[in-house]
Amino acid sequence: MNKFCLVLATALLLISCSKEADFKIVGTTPDIKNGTNVFLQKIDENNRLANVDTTVVKEGKFSFDPDQVTSPEMLILSFENLQGNIILIAENLEITVDAYKDSLYTSKIKGGAENDFFKVYYDDVVSSNKEKQKLQQEGSMAMQSGDTSKVAVIRNEFEAINNADKRRRLKLVEEHPGEFVSVIILSDLVGTRIIEATEAERLFNSLDKGLQEADKGVKLSEMIAQLKAAETAAAQAEVGNKAPDFTAPTPEGSQLSLTEAMGKKYTIIDFWASWCKPCREENPNVVAVYNKYHEKGLNIISVSLDRAEAKEKWLTAIENDQMDWYHVSNLMEWQDPVARKYGVSAIPATYLIDENGIIIEKNLRGEALQTKMQELLGES
């Protein structure tokens, strides 16, 4: 009898543990219409959202009962005809979601240490982004009014926010080496180039082995390797060095090299894209400089970071912005081999080279570019 009771107790304990380990998502929503489709998605290897499951809102509720996960992973909840989404971390337990129609990003998620940790990080990102958006608006107004001193102050404030963000997030990773969210944080730091490759490697090596070997950990390792290669390339494309030569397709489909496009005295290598607002805002200034100094020996070759499916937008932008100089692009966005050769991590990015191909200045914009060209080639 005692033996039977012991077996029964053990069985009940196992059943109880099994239930506790069951991965479920249970959602409530006070203001999303019944019948609305809810999509459970994940990010695939191409960084695109892939559907995992679909359900509908019934009587203000929805739920998913996915397969158990072998390790935590990021999942996204999206709602039919609603903007935004809800991010959660898959853990083998019940996760509850209170979804709010008009502000999905403020939805409440409960369940598991990983989701608690992710909320700390997510709230930090949202708060910081609000500060940055405000500064960007102020900076845009200052640029339009020609207040260069205000622009300089705002740039310093922006940099201070980025530095503070970096310190806080590095600390989060250092204090949570065994949690999956640390991989997400470190991936964001590497992807936005806020952190250098050596520091990223140090933090990656401090993570638990299981995290390093998980799919997202392997991808993070690859990102760090790419960052290291970009830093090496950027170091080669510094002022005083010879500009790396390249050959790339023109809009007409022929091949054009930097050597062939160089001006008699000076050349601007201009990295941009049709979708890049700061690039398009700077283009009138570059056009004015080109028109003023082209006859005195200045050439420009623009390297676009547009995508293949956006080729027409690239060509239209060239025409609309009156960029009457050399253009090339592999139409591979950030994977463009020319951009990678120069270690370009943000656009617009410019390199001013002399007749020997030596880089003499970098990232001159606005009045600074005009002043430099006047210094080199004088008034027209």
pLDDT at 15: 36
State CA 269 to chain mean position distance.
24
pLDDT at 358: 96
- In percent, the amount of the chain with pLDDT more than 90 equals 75
pLDDT at 45: 76
pLDDT at 3 over 70: no
Q: What is the mean pLDDT of residues 50-58?
A: 95
Is residue 380 very low, low, confident or very high in pLDDT (cuts 50, 70, 90)?
A: low
pLDDT at 273 over 90: yes
Is residue 192 very low, low, confident or very high in pLDDT (cuts 50, 70, 90)?
A: confident
6-20, 65-79, 366-380: least confident range: 6-20
DSSP sequence for 322-370? T--SEEE--SBGGG-HHHHHTT--SSSEEEEEETT-BEEEE---HHHHH
Among 41, 43, 42, CA closest to 191: 43
Query: What are the boundaries of each domain within the chain?
Result: 21-110, 114-236, 247-377
Dmax (CA) of the chain: 105
Helix (H) or strand (E) holding 4: helix 2-20
pLDDT at 32 over 80: yes
Q: What is the mean pLDDT of residues 303-327?
A: 96
- CATH class, range 247-377: alpha beta
Q: What is the mean pLDDT of residues 182-192?
A: 94
Reading the block at residue 297, the tokens are 């020996």
Between the two ends of the chain, the Cα-to-Cα distance in Å is 105
pLDDT at 8: 36
* Contact by Cβ (8 Å): 311, 274: no
Is residue 236 very low, low, confident or very high in pLDDT (cuts 50, 70, 90)?
A: confident
Among 117, 119, 91, CA closest to 107: 119
pTM for this model (two decimals): 0.72
Q: What is the mean pLDDT of residues 349-372?
A: 94
Is residue 277 very low, low, confident or very high in pLDDT (cuts 50, 70, 90)?
A: very high
Is residue 378 very low, low, confident or very high in pLDDT (cuts 50, 70, 90)?
A: confident
Determine the Cα–Cα distance for residues 263 and 355; give it in Å rounded to an integer. 7
pLDDT at 145: 87
Is residue 21 very low, low, confident or very high in pLDDT (cuts 50, 70, 90)?
A: low
pLDDT at 301: 97
CATH number of the domain at 21-110, out of 2.30.290.10, 2.60.40.1120, 3.40.50.150, 3.90.1300.10?
Answer: 2.60.40.1120
pLDDT digits (tens, 9 = 90+) for 77-87: 999 999 999 99
Is residue 4 very low, low, confident or very high in pLDDT (cuts 50, 70, 90)?
A: very low
pLDDT at 230: 87
